[in-house]
Amino acid sequence: MKKINKLIEEGYGQGEGKDYKPFIDVIRVSTKGRASRIKGWKTQRVHNFLSDSETRFFYLLDFDDEVIDIREHYPLITDLEKITPQLDEQLLKRLINQKTGEPIILTTTFFVTKKEKNGEVNYYARSVKDYRQLENNQVIERFEIQRRYWEERGINYGIVTNKEIPKTLAKNIEYIHSSYFLDEYGITSSQQELYQDILFHLLVQAGDMPLNELLMNFDKEVNADKGTGLLLFKHLIAHKRLLVDMLKTLDLTMSANQVLINEGGEYSGHFLESVDSI
């Protein structure tokens, strides 16, 4: 209990946006999966994930314009005592370390804040697991406790498996994700505006020219390092200024006329499946 109290005192599992500290992070916790640490677009902080499935679901959330905050590994602490009288002996076991007798803090993989199109702010809680783990009774029992916890708090809860995550979409977002903050590559705001105008002009004139050829032409046009055009291309997709079919694998040999310029800067989400159904 001392360890848990210390984590709470240090702010783990608390805060919002940039100030949130996940109750579990890859530095303090070992994992059998592939751990990753990724700077988020929404929060501008580093997020911690313990598996590919967690990471891929995060990419979907970060790309969704309606999502305004993503809190990973959120602890079930507040108001937990309200549901414990409802738990039978088997479920109560999942809240106690059977070897040490110490309490266990369960965490939900994602606690998400969304601002809906009508302006209403809603919250969603999602547990992410490999589908094979759903055959494990202990895992199912932990999920049942989480279901009751979030139901008590009036928050939509669901379980997402790797089978339900659109892999191509997630991998496409992963491909562009690190290009969101161009200033981290030494490209100034004024350069970004100039580069964007030039790339848009080349796209309008390109016809069916292969995209990779157009991007090489861009590098020559602005006398920039090789790969600058590709970096800008990914950046503009991340910011929804360029639209491509994100449900198909991004292929740089595709015709440039398959890339749409989004002049208004608004995004209808036509190429993105909603995560509400996941």
pLDDT category of residue 269 using cuts at 50, 70 and 90: very low
pLDDT in tens, 180-196: 999 999 999 999 999 99
Predicted local distance difference test score (pLDDT) of residue 272 = 38
The 3-state DSSP class for residue 158 equals strand
Cα 273 to Cα 278: distance, rounded to the nearest angstrom? 10
Amino acid at 172: N
Judge whether residue 209 has pLDDT over 60.
yes
pLDDT in tens, 241-256: 999 999 999 999 999 9
Predicted local distance difference test score (pLDDT) of residue 71 = 98
Query: HEC string of 84-124?
Result: HHHCCHHHHHCCECCCCCCECCCEEEEEEEEECCCCCEEEE
C-alpha closest to that of 130 among 183, 53, 196, 220: 53
pLDDT in tens, 35-68: 899 999 999 999 999 999 999 999 999 999 999 9
**Residues in Cβ contact with 106 at an 8 Å cutoff, skipping those fewer than 6 apart:** 75, 76, 94, 95, 142, 145, 146, 149
CB atoms within 10 A of CB 115: 14
